[in-house]
Structure 1
Amino acid sequence: MVTLNEEQTMLRDMARDWAANEAPVSAFRALRDRKAVAGFDRSTFEEMAQMGWTGVIAPESYGGSEFGVLGLGLVLEETGRTLTASPLLSSGLVAVSALMLGGSDAQKERWLPGLASGETIGTLAVDEGPRHDPAKIEAKAEKRGDGFVLSGTKAYVPEGDSADLFIVAARTGEGIGLFLVPGNAEGVSRSARSMVDSRSHAFVQFEGVSLPSDALLGEEDGAALLDKILDRARIGTAAEMLGLCSQAFDMTLDYLKTREQFGEILSRFQALQHRMAHLFTQIELMRSTVEAALVAVDQDRADLPVMASLAKAVANETTHLMSRELIQLHGGIGMTDDYDAGFYLKRARILENAYGNASFHRERFARLSGY
């Protein structure tokens, strides 16, 4: 487990208090009930931006605080506890990371200040099918004059309904390139996807979108850059999953301590104690891998890809187990819409498949480790 410094501890505690008081699960329930197209409450996201969370990893010269990915991971963990719906992961981590890793000075100047302030929402558009597979990209960016013409579709783009900036992976003559595409560009259309977690996931179509040459992020063969961005997305997702699991565990423990069955409090049954002890150890193992991966990003370590897949694989398996036990140990009440457990189960299933499921990352971990 990582030892936090005083500033990191303050950031975590502030995020925990804010999420519990200003963005509880009841707020998410209200958002779900009114079927907000954006998938999040803009006033809530503005509050997060005002606290500086959208610019945690951005350089100070572009309006950020340059506080590190570990710092943002702590925030994502706490907002994950209450299922706070926001573009913080897609925009504040993934999009900002893409600009920092591959952007030219001009690209950073144009996009980073808005992303850091929360005024601009960015997202990464990679997958074209139901499963995460960066190798299976058919969208094309063909050279045309001094620029490119982008054509193709992207499925299940997170925050795709509200994004002001799409970072699109497409095939070029050299390989897979990444392109900065304004959300209002001619030829860009989007349609909402109805998903079980009631969050924003859009189908986005790019029909002959004309892009200038400076829309290319990095080089035409940007596969290595895409991997770096995706690893940060995977680790950030795992941090949110850690918060989800921690809260699901606390909910279950509280329920077992108060629910009576056969004249006894459920927590007194040894079999249930064993199950909760197992869940506790798995979540602590998950915490170790996730925090180690967050630190690996900040230290720019060579083993970052391995740590990213390890963290996401462990997070996927632990989240699946915890969300399943959450329902089983609550019994019938856990299946009702009036109880919050179902929200955690639904969000868990989406996050397990985001940026690679357990099988994907076990295979990638093995390959990167030379097995």
Structure 2
Amino acid sequence: MAILNEEQEMLRDMAREWAANESPVAAFRKVRAEKPAEGYSPDAWSAMAQMGWAGIVIPEAHGGSDFGWMSAGLVVEELGKSVTASPIVATTIAASAIVLGGSDEQKAKWLPRLASGEIVGTLAVDEGARHDSSRIETRVNGGKLTGTKAFVHEADGAALFVVAAADGLYLVERGEGVTLSPRKLTDMRSHAEVTFDGAAAERLAGGGDDLLDRVLDRARILTAAEMLGMAQQVFDVTLDYLKQRVQFNQVLASFQALQHRMADLFGDLAMMRSAVEGGLEALDSGFGVARAATVAKAEANRVLHLMSREGVQLHGGIGMTDEYDIGFYLKRARVLEASWGSTSYCRRRFASLAGY
């Protein structure tokens, strides 16, 4: 487990308390029932922004707190425990792209608005059913961007899109030339196919030729942090259930076979935490980010897939019902596993980075 400083501990505890009291799974159920246009509660997002969570990785000069990626990961992990619907991950990734590759003018224009929560940003990369950043056909001609992006996270509430084109990353403001077609995925969150038809675009010219890869690594690690929170919650809820449920006049937790399964999951969870926190630490130090991000996402995919499946199964028949929260984690897990690189994609990428 990572060693946290006093500020990070306070931030984690604040996020944990807020998520438990103000954004439990019941709040997600309410969002699902009310279907706000943004795909999340605007009031909840406003509260998060007021606590400074939207600007954790944004420099102080542009309205953020610059607390670093470990701090951002701690907040996202706690929100993952209650499957909170919010654009915090998408906005943080979009902000990081501007921090890495934006001009002084672009930073001054967009970062304060992202840090304050005034606007939501998101990353638009993939054009097919699977993540593959090497296959991008979106083009820019004369400052006008044309192309289609599939399954863009939090697109419904986004005012700013960081779009991957064949020659780099571009900033596109929502408006003329931008059309959204909602996509309903199993996690019941905001996703859309976004079509850009001659939309005005500004290039992120800084950050080097590997800017897209660097932004995607941040997306992988922060997404893995959300998955870590989900896996931890599934483990805790399942363990509590086994300690309470009585079958054949015995508490389920007394059966040795179930004890072995939970022990294996506990070990997997520890491995996942090590990989995810290693990724966050790599981002803060600036060393070995590509490998750390690939390992973090691959391990998060593997463990959460297993944890969510076992959680539902160990709940028995009731685990399949909407009355119990455990199913929400499985559904969200399957979407996040496919985001920014499946397990097989990450394994191939790690082998490539290692020279194989």
Match of 2:179 in 1: 189
**Corresponding letter in the other structure for 2:340:** Y
SS of the residue 2:149 aligns to: strand
Q: Note the 1:40-55 alignment, pairs <5 A.
A: 40-55=40-55
Contact 2:150-2:193 within 8 A present in 1 as well: yes
Match of 1:120 in 2: 119
Deviates more, 1:18-27 or 1:31-40: 31-40
Shift in Å at residue 210 of structure 1? 3.5
Contact 1:177-1:222 within 8 A present in 2 as well: no
Q: Note the 1:72-111 alignment, pairs <5 A.
A: 72-91=72-91, 93-111=92-110
Shift in Å at residue 218 of structure 1? 1.4
Match of 2:310 in 1: 325
**Corresponding letter in the other structure for 1:192:** P
Quick one: distance in 1 between partners of 2:304 and 2:329? 10
What is the TM-score with the length of structure 2 in the denominator?
Answer: 0.98
Contact 2:136-2:165 within 8 A present in 1 as well: yes
Match of 1:157 in 2: 152
Shift in Å at residue 183 of structure 1? 0.9
**Corresponding letter in the other structure for 1:165:** L
Shift in Å at residue 37 of structure 1? 2.7
Shift in Å at residue 162 of structure 1? 1.2
Q: 1:283 to 1:123 in 2, by over 3 A?
A: same
> Does residue 236 in structure 1 map to residue 226 in structure 2?
no
State the 4+ residue runs in structure 1 displaced beyond 6 angstroms: none
> Does residue 306 in structure 1 map to residue 291 in structure 2?
yes
Quick one: distance in 2 between partners of 1:209 and 1:50? 32
SS of the residue 2:157 aligns to: coil
Aligned length: 356
Quick one: distance in 2 between partners of 1:169 and 1:132? 13
Match of 1:22 in 2: 22
**Corresponding letter in the other structure for 1:335:** M
Quick one: distance in 1 between partners of 2:209 and 2:244? 52
**Corresponding letter in the other structure for 1:153:** T
**Corresponding letter in the other structure for 2:160:** L
Shift in Å at residue 38 of structure 1? 1.4
- Tell me which of 250, 253, 256 is aligned to 1:267: 253
Contact 1:161-1:191 within 8 A present in 2 as well: no
**Corresponding letter in the other structure for 1:31:** V
**Corresponding letter in the other structure for 1:158:** H
Quick one: distance in 1 between partners of 2:66 and 2:198? 37
Contact 2:172-2:200 within 8 A present in 1 as well: no
SS of the residue 1:85 aligns to: coil
Contact 2:291-2:353 within 8 A present in 1 as well: yes
Quick one: distance in 2 between partners of 1:99 and 1:87? 17
Deviates more, 1:187-196 or 1:18-27: 187-196
Quick one: distance in 1 between partners of 2:354 and 2:30? 45
**Corresponding letter in the other structure for 1:363:** R
**Corresponding letter in the other structure for 1:67:** F
Quick one: distance in 1 between partners of 2:279 and 2:208? 23
- Tell me which of 332, 343, 350 is aligned to 2:335: 350
**Corresponding letter in the other structure for 1:348:** A
Quick one: distance in 1 between partners of 2:153 and 2:214? 18
Q: Note the 1:214-293 alignment, pairs <5 A.
A: 215-218=202-205, 223-293=209-279
Percent identical pairs in the alignment equals 58
Shift in Å at residue 321 of structure 1? 0.2
Quick one: distance in 2 between partners of 1:287 and 1:44? 27
Contact 1:16-1:78 within 8 A present in 2 as well: yes
Quick one: distance in 2 between partners of 1:263 and 1:218? 67
Q: Deviations over 1:134-170 (max 9, x none)?
A: 011111112x2xxx22111001000111111001111
What is the TM-score with the length of structure 1 in the denominator?
Answer: 0.94
> Does residue 204 in structure 1 map to residue 194 in structure 2?
yes
> Does residue 364 in structure 1 map to residue 343 in structure 2?
no
Structure 2 unaligned regions, length at least 5: none
Shift in Å at residue 2 of structure 1? 1.1
Shift in Å at residue 222 of structure 1? 6.2
SS of the residue 1:153 aligns to: strand
SS of the residue 1:161 aligns to: helix
Quick one: distance in 2 between partners of 1:191 and 1:23? 28
Quick one: distance in 2 between partners of 1:149 and 1:164? 17
Shift in Å at residue 287 of structure 1? 0.4
**Corresponding letter in the other structure for 2:180:** R
Match of 1:140 in 2: 139
**Corresponding letter in the other structure for 1:43:** D
SS of the residue 2:36 aligns to: coil
